[in-house]
Structure 1
Amino acid sequence: MTDSSKKRLKVLEYSLTLELMASFSLAFLLDIDIEYDKIKESKSLGNSSSALSFNQKVNLLLDNKSITKDEKLKLESFMNIRNQFIHNKDAVSYTKAVSNISGLENRLKRIYPDFFKEIELEESIDNCVTELYNDSLSILGDFKGGRESKLIMQSERDIYVKKYKILKEIMESEIDEVNDFIKKQESEFIKKDDLVGMIGLLKYQIIVKTNQEYLKEE
């Protein structure tokens, strides 16, 4: 395999992974099953001709504040290089690929200045491509903005559901005890003071026992 082919293959493999990561991020936000086989079947996130492009996915994540404008710039920088290797036969090196993209070399020098010290330009851009890929993985896998809000909502919902189940069980148990108490009374009449005291105690017991059971499961 030629050096040019190795570079094309490397960029292609990186881009396929980033495409999938972008789909996972949107699937999480849209409550689409994030299993790989399910995403492949998705009309919007899968592999069909109707699926969203990487750029469209990134724009949605930006609108959702799941990524920042600077992060989008990194994602776009990588995809600019990817497009050259995929669509331009003459892009046989990183240097040639980047030279066809206006302003990209200077942008990379601003983002990764340490990669352009005392080494050949081709090696510098090679290092940039690897770092762009690593940074892009972190960007697409990070939970902030819309994804952070969604995660918090899910966590709060899970806590609520858990507490509700515990509360329901405790209430049923305590109410059963009150029913047993009433059934055991020989008289058809129950003293008001006894009943008021029991109801007050019941409320306290439900609160305390619910909190105790919840803490046990933490």
Structure 2
Amino acid sequence: MYVIEHALHIEKLASETIGYILGIDWKNSKSFGNGSTALSFNQKIQIIQDLKGLDKIDIQKFSDFMGIRNKFAHVLSIKTFDDFFNSGKNGADVKKNLIKYYGFENSEIDEGLKNKIYFYRLFSDLLQILTQKIAKHEFERGKKAFTSEYLLSVLSEVGNLENGDDVLKKAFKKVDPR
């Protein structure tokens, strides 16, 4: 349940992030809502991975998370992180990545607890990545709005000057000499 509950939080935030970026009310969306026609969790994560600005490690963290989530959600015999990490090449690769990202110096920590901490840190990183995507998009949206409003204000004020039309014509010629 620990893995599934955390996966549900990531799926919700992935839907919110994509909806926010695309200007879609994700809760009422056929693609991102909770209805039977909604995209799968995997498809939503693939869209997130396609977004510009994610580095290879962030993309891999989403893949690792999905590998864990899918095994816990679909394989009855996977009950612990050790079960997952010992379930084959994918489990072993994910374990190696988690150690690379979050390795512990203290070997006195119980392996089960260590694995749970690895997963929680992976979850926390994904929350941060998704939250930053929303923040960056909001910043860009605000910057564009400010730039547009500022430009319109400057154009209006210059246009009101005695020789404003001439100044604007000269400025536009420098930008587009056609």
**Structural mapping, 1:32-181, within 5 Å:** 32=24, 38-102=25-89, 103=92, 104-114=94-104, 117-143=107-133, 148=136, 150-151=137-138, 153-163=140-150, 166=153
TM-superposed CA distance for 1:137, in Å, is 0.3
Amino acid at match of 2:15: S
- 2-structure distance, mates of 1:72, 1:110: 15
TM-superposed CA distance for 1:168, in Å, is 8.2
- 1-structure distance, mates of 2:53, 2:45: 9
- 2-structure distance, mates of 1:119, 1:82: 24
| 2:16 paired residue among 21, 24, 27 | 24
- 1-structure distance, mates of 2:76, 2:43: 25
Amino acid at match of 1:18: I
Deviations 1:46-89 (A, max 9, x none): 11233222322222233221422211211222222222222222
Structure-2 residue corresponding to 1:199: 162
CA 1:156/1:136 → structure 2, altered by over 3 Å: closer, same or farther?
A: closer
| 1:12 paired residue among 4, 20, 27 | 4
- 2-structure distance, mates of 1:83, 1:115: 29
- 1-structure distance, mates of 2:17, 2:53: 9
Find runs of 4+ consecutive structure 1 residues off by over 4 angstroms: 150-153, 164-172
8 Å Cα contact 1:109/1:116 also seen in 2: no
- 2-structure distance, mates of 1:130, 1:60: 23
Greater Rg, structure 1 or structure 2?
Answer: 1
Deviations 1:165-211 (A, max 9, x none): 65688689x6xxxxxxxxxxxxxxxxxxxxxxx824xx4xxxxxxxx
Q: TM-score, normalised by structure 1?
A: 0.62
Structure-1 residue corresponding to 2:176: none
CA 1:114/1:89 → structure 2, altered by over 3 Å: closer, same or farther?
A: same
8 Å Cα contact 2:15/2:26 also seen in 1: yes
Gaps of 5+ in 2: 165-178
8 Å Cα contact 2:65/2:122 also seen in 1: yes
Q: TM-score, normalised by structure 2?
A: 0.74
Gaps of 5+ in 1: 1-7, 33-37, 175-197, 204-218
- 1-structure distance, mates of 2:34, 2:102: 33
8 Å Cα contact 1:62/1:69 also seen in 2: no
- 2-structure distance, mates of 1:67, 1:90: 33
Sequence identity (%):
26
